[in-house]
Structure 1
Amino acid sequence: MSEKIFSYLEVHAVDHCNNNCRWCNNHSPFCPEREYAAGEYIPWMEKLEKKGIEYDMISVMGGEPFLHKNLTGFVLELRRRFPRKSLAISTNGFWLGEEQIESYQMLWKLTDILFISLYPNLLRGLKDGGDVTPLLHKITKHNPHLKIDLRQKQTFRMIAYSEEPVEPNTFCGTSECTTLLADGRLARCGLGGYAGYSPNVGEAFRSSKHMFFDLNRKFSKGEFWNWRRRWPFDACYHCDSYKWRETNWKAEKGKRRRLDLELEHDRLAGGRLMALGNFTQAESLFRRTAEKYPLDAALCNDLAVCVSHREPLEALAYLAKALEIDPDHDDARANLRRLRHVLGRGTENARPEVCSADAGVR
């Protein structure tokens, strides 16, 4: 007999994040860049299913899940295997923009709930003073049943860890966040699941004996019940998350916002738009990306592909700029040879011209 023991199960699409929040529940500023396949989690989720251990919702998190190079594929695989469960995604919304939203048309149709937490440093980069209501309407246009939970996070919960035990006197909601790791361990909370990456977490909290439940071993449903219902457990005595002390949002010391990851995301979004045949939107996204981030060879190549059908000379300039930045960029070399052949401007081995700033390429 199946019986619901907890409300939702968290899985990471990626561990890393573009933002640098101090007191991040998942210690994302310290996590290495790691991307997961849904197939790494599914066998463990099936094991829970066979044991009759139920939950209502799969929550796709990170890190920042929209940094996954194929988030739609990740979610689709979970949806196909567990069609009766609700599926949620939690994000900081750094990707909010008309073109980026259009590039995720399939993802919106697969998702039931979208949790968006807008932090002050990301809000400054949004249009219209951070009013994202028109953009949210563009998302629900693709799925009217998609629920969007938007929160502007001007404050953040401070968390401190202690070596000496202090008994928690208030229930901590973080202990409801059951997190599945790709190695088959379940963590009672995100704070514990990824604590090993953070230098801010004390040894007493890290060495918890109750934090993890290992699905690799044989276990009974009763054992799982006892583990999941225990509160407070040993790690709780070395963490003051239960106090819920709020302060203004702050950046993690020594960590910066990862603009390079945001650039890569927008490049991939433009690629999805081109695959959908939306070259006008792709070009618009690439041009705004070129204004926002430092120009690299890949972005120059993408811009060249977008404009080559109507502005071949501009495309040549972008390809030359790409090869000036990275002489070994294979796609730019191939596209340059192809375009020169079409224009009758040279042979396959012709040396590309070096494009300067005067040629209109940023």
Structure 2
Amino acid sequence: MSAAQLTSDLARQVVERTMSVIGHNVNVMDPHGIILASGHDDRIGAVHEGALLAAQQDRVVEIARSEALALRGVQPGINLPLRSHGQLVGVVGITGEPDQVRVLGDLIRVTAELMVDQARAAESRQWRYREREEFVGHAAAGRLAPRELAEWAAGLGIDLETPRRATVIAPATRTQAHTEALRGLQRDLVQVRGILVGRVEPQELVVFSPAGRSRGPNQDAAALLHAAEGRLRHATGRAFTGSATFEQAYLTARDTLTVTGLIDSSGGAYDFDDVPLLALVRGMGEGWRGDLLAEPWQRLAEADRSGELVATFGAYVQHNASATAAAGALHVHRNTVRYRLARIGEITGLRMDHLPDVLTLYLGPVLGSGR
């Protein structure tokens, strides 16, 4: 809100707050003398000649009962100019005989001017939040040329040489409650000092935090994320610095969130260092090469109606290709795991005792997830 604005809503707040204290009718007018808010609703929209005179001459105008009869839309009272940052923004008027309400004039004016300044400061903060969110969205998506990025960052006071990590946050499910949780988190996060918040995708929130010794976002942001546990999933990428900070940090976080969602449907918090190979390959898997590598996994997924073979392979990989350890995790006999691995080999054409083949199948869900 610029210093030259006084909205009807703010004028109404001034009237309500001051009238509850002084016991007299209060009017708030714009610089043209038009009544924006009043204790008498039927006067709203009318021109107050006393207020118009106060605004034009930038002085206090007192009107006695005898003088009010000669003016249009005027009752006895006192009218005082309102200023914000040195500019006239309107007039506040108190109804009553001047001798009775004069002592209240400066009190009401100071109260009204404080409210105008507070509203202006709040609007300025909201503008800065929106500007930063827009910058984050464009920078993370790689839509800014280096010079444009540097100039915009400098204008916002953002140091591109500060190492930063990105944390990408998404609803755990597509339900309205989880989507609302994401919106609520965004409203809270923009208040946290030291971080930058924005969106690249409608259903994702990205938070950039200075890279410290601990993984994940800073302490305040982490506390807000913990409070939303169960409703939101999030993953943190690698730290980067320089002109490519935002794009690279975002991509590593986004790909980490994507691949962990494929291998663990329980949700939760993840870090790039938990799945570095999968996260990196996720970003390189598009195109016909990725299609070829994903084919064995797709054959397995189509043939495994119960999900039993996929779960067995997951346990086998998680336990370092040990059939015995996988059997223990699945609570089945070791020979059952060996049978299932053989069946996986028949479906995919890959050998589960051959590391390159195991790696090929391991990468399958990541490479095939975009199709």
TM-score by length of 2: 0.25
TM-score by length of 1: 0.26
Of the two structures, which has the highest relative contact order with CA contacts closer than 8 Å and spacing of 6 or more?
1
* Bigger helix share: 2
> Which structure has the larger Rg?
2
